[in-house]
Amino acid sequence: FGKSEVVNRLLLDAALVDKKKFRVIVVDARPLLEGRDTLQILSRAGISCTYVLLNALSYLMMREVTKVFLGASALMSNGSVLSRIGTACVALLANSNHIPVLVGCETYKICNRVQLESITGNELGDADEVACADCARINPSNRWGGFMSGAEDEKKETDVLTDWKQQENLKLLNLMYDLTPSDFVTGIVTEVGILPPTSVAVLLREMSPQENNESAFKGTD
């Protein structure tokens, strides 16, 4: 889903170094459409690819997907994954279809925080990116055309998002990240091996033993 340098590296090594044959379904979502970068990298390397938007994934997930690879911006100590918005949707759909979900994440992205939802600590992107019509239909559908008056029928249709800032009853939200619960993750691929989400806290303690020792003696006199 989207773009992940770790996942791209894993797929390129499997295809070019290990000479494995497989097909990649690149899932993308507006407004960033980062999956196009992934599609370009993999297709130019000779890997068979299919490009699909997130809203069409359920059809392919039930019929053609055997494994799901996701990237991560941060890995919480409870095994939850903070990543590009839409990642949780892909993981949820894969979990409901009993498809293994592997998250590619370097150990330096592991933090000792615990986050339970996607609002606290999130980032807001530019709302104009959501309103951009370059990758979507420009005019509204004619679904309600039969209910329009004659005077309105003659007016040129304009996108409702064109002047969204002047509409007091319209707000746009462009969240950058979401949180994938550890229950939806099968394994986490790191440079030290593949770990279950339940082992993230153990790995975090092993990575910073000095800090753990200092915190253990803080309460003693």
Read off the pLDDT band of 211 (50, 70, 90).
Answer: low
Tell me what percent of the residues of the chain surpass a pLDDT of 90.
Answer: 43
Distance in angstroms (rounded) separating the CA atoms of residues 110 and 199:
12
Residue 135: phi and psi, rounded to 5, are: -110, 20
Lowest mean pLDDT segment, chosen from 50-64, 133-147, 169-183: 133-147
Evaluate if residue 141 carries a pLDDT over 50.
Answer: no
Where b means 16+ CB within 10 Å and e means fewer, 32-51 reads: bebbeebbebbeeeebebee
Question: Quick one: average pLDDT of 68-89?
Answer: 91
Question: Quick one: average pLDDT of 89-117?
Answer: 89
Distance in angstroms (rounded) separating the CA atoms of residues 1 and 35:
7
Evaluate if residue 41 carries a pLDDT over 80.
Answer: yes
Q: Look at residue 136 in the predicted model and tell me its pLDDT.
A: 53
Distance in angstroms (rounded) separating the CA atoms of residues 38 and 175:
21
Evaluate if residue 14 carries a pLDDT over 90.
Answer: yes
Q: Look at residue 127 in the predicted model and tell me its pLDDT.
A: 82
Angle at which helices 35-44 and 5-12 cross, to 10°: 20
Read off the pLDDT band of 148 (50, 70, 90).
Answer: very low
